[in-house]
Structure 1
Amino acid sequence: MKRILITGANRGLGLELTRQYLERGDTVFAATRQPDSATDLHQLHTQYADHLHLIQLDVTNEASIEAARQVVAGATESLDILINNAGIFPGAGPEDPAKQNLGGLTAATALTFLNVNAVGPLLVAQAFLELLKAANKARIISLSSGQGSLTWKASGEPYHYSASKAALNMYMRALAAEVGTYGVISVLVDPGWVQTRMGGDTAALPPADSARGIVRLTDQLHAEENGSFVTWQGQPVPW
């Protein structure tokens, strides 16, 4: 049985990852900014009350991250997997800034995306590192995007989203160099174009397929893959 912390677990891919880990008998700490209103998580909790813990966590708030760490540390002595899933995309939700095209760019919007998509995951990984180090061969999985690949980038918008994912890639590449000395494996994963509120209804990939691939990939990681950037199917993504 694995102990897993998933950020942004209340919807989309985070919710599907939570469901699949619960179905196989793992314990999941499902983190979301507003757990009281996370209807789907509460429904899962009625079925998996002994294995699902709802955690309040805002990845942009350091006090919230520390409070979440204390709650998780009070429930377990170690974490096997951290999945940095929480993120925003232009206009994907009512709270997600939409201005991403040239002529409408602002510094405030840029910082919002960087805080949520790049800095937040790094601070979460830092806060939970001691719990990860206490496990055997723990993994940090940070969900990136092909939009964050300099090689693949061939369009203008979304400027801030793409830059935030490129920043996430650098943060987690740097993190991997350090945590690898503790036996922790940190990788970046492009989950594909998924049928979620972020990906839209026209996306090609059902959340269940992407989640299944990420779960399989996480289980099969080896130390030499630390610091890599791959697709949900395990194929290399160019930086």
Structure 2
Amino acid sequence: MRAFITGANRGLGLELTRQYLQRGDTVFAAVRQPAEATELHELEQAYSDRLYIVPLDVTQENSIRSAVQAVAATTDGLEILLNNAGVYPHAGSGDAQQRLGQLTAEDAVETMMVNAIGPLLVAQALLPLLRAGRKARIISLSSGYGSLTWKASGDPYHYSASKAAMNMYMRSLAADIGHMGLISVVVDPGWMRTDMGGAHATQDPADSARGIIRLAEQLHAEENGSFVTWQGQPVPW
């Protein structure tokens, strides 16, 4: 199995990278600042034959093209794309900047670029490698905040809107790639104890990672375009 994981330097991305490597898979770990990815470099020492650290800024098309070229120079195909890179502007889920009265265009654009547009552009650029892989899957990490049905609060405005936008992009993508034998789904990984989720979160990233990996392996064609939890339960749009 060959996996490309964005935002692989911390939190869920790092845990997904670790678990795929422990299984014996090959991982292309994409990070914006490779020099600062200390834990990822520690993994690289243990799995130097199967871990490739790839510089990637998902908001920059030149960076996306360079990352794809780096992967293509090493392998002829991919089985998994995990769109994990995401941003929650400022301090994280306890910050007030996404509440009415504090909203700015700058925060809105940054959040939309990283959380919605970036994943779509990465998937588009990697499509030839995914089509060359074996039954490739695109797993894009969303959030319960991205559900219009579940949305019952104002805050966080930008994060919620960006995840809802990503859901639509990936639903659209699913319609185009289904006939290619590929599957695209969006997954709510739960409220995790990460830099973004904060210390009070209830979910261990290791549990979410295990569930997501299992989910990716068990996907069937009829599930293409779905929105599910890390445990495989449907999430309302």
TM-score (structure 1 length as normaliser): 0.97
Shift of 1:98: 6.1
Select which of 136, 139, 147 maps to 1:138: 136
Paired with 1:166 and 1:21, the residues of 2 have a C-alpha distance of 28
What CA deviation, in whole Å up to 9, does each residue of 1:155-208 have, x standing for no partner?
Answer: 001000000000000000000000111101000000000111111111111110
User: Identity rate of aligned residues, in percent?
Assistant: 70
Paired with 1:102 and 1:214, the residues of 2 have a C-alpha distance of 34
TM-score (structure 2 length as normaliser): 0.97
Shift of 1:107: 1.6
Amino acid aligned to 1:8: G
Which residue of 2 is the match for residue 211 of structure 1?
A: 209
Instruction: Tell me how large the CA RMSD over aligned residues is.
Output: 1.0
Which residue of 2 is the match for residue 86 of structure 1?
A: 85
Map 1:22-41; keep pairs closer than 5 Å: 22-41=21-40
What CA deviation, in whole Å up to 9, does each residue of 1:69-91 have, x standing for no partner?
Answer: 00000000000000000001133
Which residue of 1 is the match for residue 61 of structure 2?
A: 62
Which residue of 1 is the match for residue 20 of structure 2?
A: 21
Paired with 2:154 and 2:199, the residues of 1 have a C-alpha distance of 22
What CA deviation, in whole Å up to 9, does each residue of 1:81-123 have, x standing for no partner?
Answer: 0000000113346xxx962111111222111110000000000
Amino acid aligned to 1:194: M
Amino acid aligned to 1:77: D
Paired with 1:136 and 1:9, the residues of 2 have a C-alpha distance of 23
Contact 1:90 1:158 in 2 (8 A): no
- Establish whether residue 113 from structure 1 lines up as the match of residue 92 from structure 2: no
Paired with 1:205 and 1:89, the residues of 2 have a C-alpha distance of 18
Paired with 2:96 and 2:69, the residues of 1 have a C-alpha distance of 34
Paired with 1:82 and 1:160, the residues of 2 have a C-alpha distance of 24
Secondary structure at the counterpart of residue 128 of structure 1: helix
Contact 1:9 1:31 in 2 (8 A): yes
Q: How many corresponding residue pairs? A: 235
Which residue of 1 is the match for residue 191 of structure 2?
A: 193
